Amino acid sequence: MCAVLLLSVVLVGCFPSNPEEKYWEAIAAVDGVEDVGVEWNRNGVGDSTRITVSTSTNDQAELRDILDRSLRAFIETTEQGEETTLSYRVLSQDQTIALDPADLGVVLYTLTDIRRYYGLE
């Protein structure tokens, strides 16, 4: 019985914990963010994260600013070497405009790309 308990403690320690809450807290603290949806999954091949940010504006320039500030807040909560398949969208208040990291003018495919963009790596 002790061996089973010890093995389960060791195995749990080998897998990172679900980061949804820390992602949510960081993004929700950004001015202009009304609501945040974070869905993190661990599958056999790796992690996937879907983040949807609802805002209080329909102005495209303000949306781009919220995208920039919220993406930076998100990436600052990640660990060096952490990777995930990422879907990140920022929606206007009326949901007619959706921006993603590519709308910042550069191709940001991975967390490493995003960290480099913000000078964090």
CATH at 38? 3.30.70.1350
What pLDDT was estimated at residue 93? 97
**Burial class of 70 by CB neighbour count within 10 A (0 to 12, 13 to 18, 19+):** buried
**Residue 2 domain flag:** no
| Angle at CA of residue 107, ends 29 and 94, nearest 5° | 45
pLDDT for 32-43, tens place per residue? 999 999 999 988
The answer as to whether 73 is a domain residue is: yes
Quote the pTM value. Answer: 0.84
**Within the chain, which residues score under 50 in pLDDT?**
2-13
Domain membership flag for residue 9: no
At residue 106, the pLDDT reads 82
pLDDT on residue 86? 94
* 5 domain residue, yes or no: no
Q: Does residue 1 fall inside a structural domain?
A: no
- The answer to whether position 23 is within a domain reads yes
Kindly state whether residue 74 falls inside one of the protein's structural domains: yes
